[in-house]
Structure 1
Amino acid sequence: MKHRIKSAVFVLGLLGLAALAQADALVALKDFVRDVKSGRTDFTQTVSSPDGLRKKISFGTFEFQRPNQFRFAYTKPFEQLIVGDGQKVWIYDPDLKQASSRRMSQVLGATPAALLAGASLERDFTLKPLAPEGGLEWVLATPRQADGSVQSLKVGFKGASLAALEVVDGFGQRSRLDFAGFVSNQAIAAERFRFVPPAGADLIEQ
């Protein structure tokens, strides 16, 4: 009987620790949005097909400055640049020499960029702490206005440090970004969030 009581106390203790970890992740996300005004990090992106059998891995850097300025620069295996200047989102493919742009209000919505670089976290997302997994503490961010392009977003923290972001799109494809060497609140040149199409590039504006 005593052994059962001890086991029950131990299990309840573990559940209590898990609840604390979940609460910590939610606090970490809110603190990140409130306190981190700019940042830079390297990332590894793994995109998995809905059945999990096919994967593509890319590498690059991510920079942002609130509100709504960001820069994803993919370096391997192919170069690609995505820049949000606060008004428009630009996508440039050096191999195709093609640039496209759309108004930020049309594309930002409840996206990973909005989650990380936006200023309206709880207006755009419903937040729910999840159980720790893979050494990280997670928060589920569900878009309040679903448009079909994003099913769910998960943000992972290691302590107070942003560590990962996982997105499931409307087709069930899963994209995970693992961050490394995150530096917060560093000065970032304004030019990093401007894009001028290179001479000779095809330009598509929507």
Structure 2
Amino acid sequence: MSMQKFFMASLSLLAVSANSLADDPKAKAELQSKLAAMQQYQAEFAQAVVDVDGELIHEATGKLTMAQPDKLRWETFSPDETLLVADGTSVWNLDPFVEQVTVINQQTAVQDNPIILLTTADMSVWNQFDIEYGLPGKHSFVVKPLDGEGQIKSLSLTFQGDVLSSLAMTDAQSQVSTLKFASVESEFVLPDSTFRVSIPDTYVVDDQR
């Protein structure tokens, strides 16, 4: 699963059927509180993707950096080096292997994608999703788009205390992409260049904005 697909179609601990989720105001308020405290977040991750039969189809390692509002940097180190940056206006997807960068409008990229809740406190956005508690006895939440038309059918978020420790997304093909985080930081110096993209002269730019 590519970074671009992860963020736009794909960005498990829980697998939730389309009819099993009902909005829980208490769960929504608690999740809002936890994410509001996450003004910035940085962690290493291990990603595993399984298909509808539970077969492992992809693994990756990398680093995720997020900052509110609406900024994200996603780097993979293995099996390939790639970079995706959402700067609040556009999403930049760099693929060094083919020396190409694809640029799309960020609002289009995250439409109906619950991953957007990680970096926004905008209630007009939050109201587009149902939120319910996940596994009993654990600090987990399940988020599902109200209209059900997007490629992401559910997002589960699990916390250790107030720290986001893992997330899992189930897509329209019932593939589940799980990220487990390590070396988590919430207070760190954020260089100005974190959400900027430097494009080598040799790269082809596919600007779809």
User: Equivalents in 2 of 1:109, 1:39: separation in Å?
Assistant: 22
TM, length-normalised to structure 2: 0.79
1:127 maps to 2:131: yes
- Counterparts in 2 of 1:158 and 1:82: CA distance versus 1, 3 Å: same
Q: 1:177 to 1:100 in 2, by over 3 A?
A: same
List alignment gaps of at least 5 residues for structure 2: 1-23
One-letter identity of the residue aligned with 1:122: W
Distance in 1 separating the partners of 2:190 and 2:95: 23
* Structure 1 residue 112: Cα displacement: 5.1
Which is further off, 121-130 or 154-163? 121-130
Shift in alpha-carbon separation, 1:126–1:23, aligned structure 2, 3 A:
closer
Amino acid at match of 2:167: L
For 1:93, which of 95, 99, 106 is the aligned residue? 95
Which residue pairs with 1:10 in the alignment? none
Name the aligned partner's letter for residue 103 of structure 2.
S
- Tell me, yes or no, if the aligned pair for 1:23 and 1:129 is still in contact at 8 Å: no
CA, structure 1 residues 124+26, in 2 after alignment: closer, same or farther (shift >3 Å)? closer
Cα distance in 2 between the residues matched to 1:119 and 1:199: 37
AA at the equivalent of 1:124? Q
Partner Cα separation in structure 2 for residue 43 and residue 171 of structure 1: 23
- Which of the numbers 37, 47, 57 marks the counterpart of 2:49? 47
TM-score by length of 1: 0.81
Distance in structure 2 (CA, Å) of the matches to 1:64 and 1:197 = 21
User: What's 1:200 paired with?
Assistant: 202
What SS is found at the alignment partner of 1:114? helix
Q: 1:28 to 1:187 in 2, by over 3 A?
A: farther
CA contact (8 A) 2:114 2:145 kept: no
Q: 1:151 to 1:164 in 2, by over 3 A?
A: same
Q: Residue 106 and residue 35 in structure 1: after superposition, are their counterparts in 2 closer, same or farther (change >3 A)?
A: same
CA distance in 2, matches of 1:138, 1:129: 6
| Mapping for residues 1-206 of structure 1, pairs under 5 Å | 29-111=31-113, 113-120=115-122, 122-132=126-136, 136-206=138-208
Given that 1:129 and 1:139 are in contact with CA atoms closer than 8 Å, whether structure 2 keeps it comes out as: yes
Greater alpha carbon shift after TM alignment, 122-131 vs 169-178: 122-131
Question: 2 CA distance for matches of 1:114 and 1:194?
Answer: 19
Q: Which has the larger radius of gyration?
A: 1
2:33 alignment partner AA: D
Cα distance in 2 between the residues matched to 1:25 and 1:157: 13
Question: Could you tell which deviates more after superposition, 188-197 or 79-88?
Answer: 188-197
